[in-house]
């Protein structure tokens, strides 16, 4: 009975009109707060996006195992996909008004930095991990990887990578399309790799 009374008291106080407002510092960041009539400080914080998925249903054990494998691979590929989309969006914006020569220089310098950072980790990815990574990127850009490479580095480079990828079973000219692999669709629904240019960057 005492627990019920305490719960009712808490909710009653929470529903009363706010008496005071302000900002308070938590772990080096400032958050707005309200002070209710009960004297309790209620910090108001905006939560990041949360993915809520319905339970998946599988026709058999093999489908479930594939789903689990895709999820593990998607978790590993996620940081690289996020970086790829961020870099693509920023490069797209930063080079839109550049001459062809300056654009090539900018992209060449960027490529050198990317190879230093990502070349070794990406080499260790399996064929299926690479498939998941490519699917993540193509799903977000709505373009095949081949077209992205062609736009950034030219047709010759795009053909080189398409030929090389072909040895590993990847068809860079064929864009990932929802519905082609419903198990992979279900996994990718839970991974958001979209990127909006920060206001400060967009004003440069």
Judge whether 55 lies within some domain. Answer: no
CA 190 – CA 77 distance, rounded (Å): 13
The tens place of each residue's pLDDT in the chain, 204 residues long, gives: 444 433 433 333 343 334 456 666 666 666 676 766 666 677 766 655 555 554 567 889 999 999 999 999 999 999 989 988 888 888 888 888 888 888 888 887 777 777 776 677 777 788 888 889 889 988 998 888 888 778 777 777 778 777 877 776 777 778 888 888 999 999 999 998 888 876 544 444
Judge whether 45 lies within some domain. Answer: no
Q: What is the pTM of this model?
A: 0.65
31 to each of 14, 20, 35, 84, 199, how far by Cα in Å?
A: 19, 14, 13, 32, 21
Terminal CA-CA length for the chain:
62
Judge whether 139 lies within some domain. Answer: yes
Judge whether 121 lies within some domain. Answer: yes
What residues make up the domain containing 69?
61-202
Total domains present in the chain = 1
The pLDDT tens digits of the residues spanning 101-134 come to 888 888 877 777 777 766 777 777 888 888 898 8
Burial class of residue 25, CB neighbours in 10 A (0-12, 13-18, 19+): exposed
CA 35 – CA 19 distance, rounded (Å): 6
CA 153 – CA 50 distance, rounded (Å): 36
Judge whether 93 lies within some domain. Answer: yes
Q: SS3 for 56?
A: coil
Q: What's the pLDDT at 136?
A: 92
Burial class of residue 196, CB neighbours in 10 A (0-12, 13-18, 19+): exposed
Judge whether 52 lies within some domain. Answer: no
CA 103 – CA 154 distance, rounded (Å): 12
Q: Which two tokens stand for residue 121?
A: 């980790």
CA 72 – CA 36 distance, rounded (Å): 45
E strand map for the chain: 18-26, 29-36, 41-43
For residue 34, the cross-strand partners are 21, 42
Judge whether 22 lies within some domain. Answer: no
Give, as one character, the DSSP assignment of residue 44.
-
For residue 41, the cross-strand partners are 35
Judge whether 77 lies within some domain. Answer: yes
For residue 42, the cross-strand partners are 34
> Rounded to the nearest 5 degrees, what angle is found at the Cα of 81, between the Cα atoms of 76 and 87?
145
């Amino acid at each position: 009975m005492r627990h019920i009374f305490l719960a009712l008291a808490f909710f009653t106080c929470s529903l009363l009109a706010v008496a005071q407002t302000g900002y308070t510092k938590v772990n080096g960041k400032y958050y707005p707060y309200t002070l209710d009539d009960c004297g309790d400080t209620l910090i108001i914080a905006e939560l990041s996006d949360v993915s809520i998925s319905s339970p998946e249903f599988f026709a058999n054990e093999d489908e479930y195992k594939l789903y689990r494998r895709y999820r593990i691979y998607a978790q590993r590929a996620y940081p690289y996909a996020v970086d790829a989309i961020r870099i693509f969006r920023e490069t797209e914006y930063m080079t839109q008004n550049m001459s062809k020569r300056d654009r090539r220089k900018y992209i060449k310098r960027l490529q050198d930095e990317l190879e230093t950072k990502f070349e070794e980790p990406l080499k260790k990815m399996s064929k299926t991990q690479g498939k998941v990574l490519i699917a993540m990127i193509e799903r977000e850009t709505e373009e095949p990887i081949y077209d992205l490479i062609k736009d950034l580095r030219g047709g010759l480079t795009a053909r080189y990578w398409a030929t090389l990828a072909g040895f590993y079973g990847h068809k860079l000219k064929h864009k990932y399309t929802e519905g082609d692999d419903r198990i992979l669709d279900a996994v990718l629904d839970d991974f958001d790799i979209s990127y909006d240019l920060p206001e400060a960057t967009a004003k440069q």
